[in-house]
Amino acid sequence: MKAPEQLIGPDGQPIYGRFSTPVSDINFADFDLRTPMNKPIRGRRRRARFNQFQFIGIHADTIMLGLAIVRLRWVCHAFLYLYDTQTGQWQDYRFTHPLRMGLTMGQRPNDDTVSFRHGRNRLTIRATPRPGIRQLRVTLQDGTRVRASIDESTSYRPLALSTRTGFTGFTYTQKASARVCHGTIRWQQRSYHLESLNALACVDWSAGYMRSETSWNWACIASRLEDGRRFGLNIAAGVNETGYNENILWIDDRPVSLPPVHFRFDRYHDHHGWALVSADDSVRLFFDPVIAYRDKTDAILVASNFAQFLGRYSGEIDIAGETLHLDKVWGVAEDHYARW
């Protein structure tokens, strides 16, 4: 299904579906938002209820990075973590402002600059449609620097999905994984050159009028198969499942749809393994967690219990014509509850 230029149509309703190309403009201000009793919500109240975030992960055998910039109703938030898989060195940073102080964020997933400022710390993601590059720039007060460019020009075929959310909302998500990236991470007096490390990136751009109380699980891999082909994986449960699911993998630049997948894990024992199994048994994965980024907030207006685990995946996935084998491949698995 070809994507529309704008997600919200003249009738004030989103166009739902799984698109073959990204949507250019998530024009949420044109959405006819209403209460469950059909009463229109307009003006500042409509704008305030819109949630949006962008996450970038960079995966290599020696370094893993995760970065998110988030706009919520009452706060804006950013985090960054870095993990050296050889030395075990870990560091995370988190920044929060009330409302949208320090945040710049638009509604064009592939033609926008998203930035977050907190004192002398700045995190920026800039996407350009021509030539199709997503640039990550991080400058932190302690000297940490990230300069990375993610290729979105060569055979770029992301997941682009719009679904109903709750009784009155919608969610649009655009995701891609195993994208080639170049640049440098400078952290703790060490430089990581992403091209020489064969680093690959994953990108998640999501926005919408989401459920005020929600939860989900997510699995992501950006790696290479034993034969050298780039392998990306995106599996989720708990969101974007109204008539569609967002489960997909990429072999080099070829997307392959996957069936619904069940996450089996013990939320109260961090070091226990996870199993990801589909109903038709075509997905059979085991995740061994190593370390986690966590963030818990329990306030009057918002609450979040967020855990993103870094670890290794093993197992098999059956697709048309072959079975893909994974053996201790680095990736992430997420468990998230939110009230916003």
Average pLDDT along the chain:
95
pLDDT at 154: 82
Residues 6 or more apart whose CB falls under 8 angstroms from that of 81 comprise: 65, 66, 67, 90, 91, 92, 93, 293
Q: How far is CA 320 from CA 279, 282, 317, 323, in A?
A: 17, 10, 10, 8
Tokens of 170: 């919608």
pLDDT tens-place string over residues 186-238? 999 999 999 999 999 999 999 999 998 999 999 999 999 999 999 999 999 98
Q: Is the pLDDT of residue 73 over 90?
A: no
pLDDT at 2: 87
User: How far apart are alpha carbons 125 and 113 in whole angstroms?
Assistant: 6
**Residue of 11, 43, 53, 33 lying closest to 295 (CA atoms):** 53
Residues 6 or more apart whose CB falls under 8 angstroms from that of 23 comprise: 3, 4, 5, 6, 7, 109, 160, 162, 172, 174
Q: Is the pLDDT of residue 29 over 90?
A: yes
Long-range pairs for 293-299: beta carbons < 8 A, 24 or more residues apart: 293/66, 293/79, 293/81, 293/92, 295/79, 295/94
User: How far apart are alpha carbons 222 and 250 in whole angstroms?
Assistant: 9
DSSP symbol at 25: B
Q: What is the mean pLDDT of residues 269-284?
A: 96
pLDDT at 100: 83
Q: What is the mean pLDDT of residues 49-66?
A: 96
User: How far apart are alpha carbons 114 and 70 in whole angstroms?
Assistant: 10
pLDDT at 99: 81
pLDDT at 46: 87
Q: Is the pLDDT of residue 78 over 80?
A: yes
pLDDT at 249: 98
pLDDT at 284: 98
pLDDT tens-place string over residues 2-25? 899 999 999 999 999 999 999 999
pLDDT at 44: 86
Greater confidence (131 vs 64) lies with: 64
Tell me which residue has tokens 């489960």.
247
Q: Is the pLDDT of residue 300 over 80?
A: no
Q: Is the pLDDT of residue 241 over 90?
A: no
pLDDT at 15: 97
User: How far apart are alpha carbons 197 and 60 in whole angstroms?
Assistant: 6
The residue type at 77: H
In this predicted structure, which of 42-51, 63-72, 180-189, 201-210 has the lowest mean pLDDT?
42-51
pLDDT at 302: 83
User: How far apart are alpha carbons 243 and 163 in whole angstroms?
Assistant: 8
28 pLDDT band (50/70/90 cuts)? Answer: very high
Greater confidence (299 vs 307) lies with: 307
Q: Is the pLDDT of residue 104 over 90?
A: yes
Handedness of CA 216, 28, 110, 126 (dihedral sign): negative
**Residue of 191, 76, 85 lying closest to 123 (CA atoms):** 76
82 close to 144: Cβ distance less than 8 angstroms: yes
Tokens of 333: 């698995």
pLDDT at 298: 85
Answer left, alpha or beta for residue 85, where phi above 0 means left and psi between -120 and 50 means alpha.
alpha
The residue type at 256: V
DSSP string, 53-93: EEEEEEE-SSEEEEEEEEE-SSEEEEEEEEEETTT--EEEE
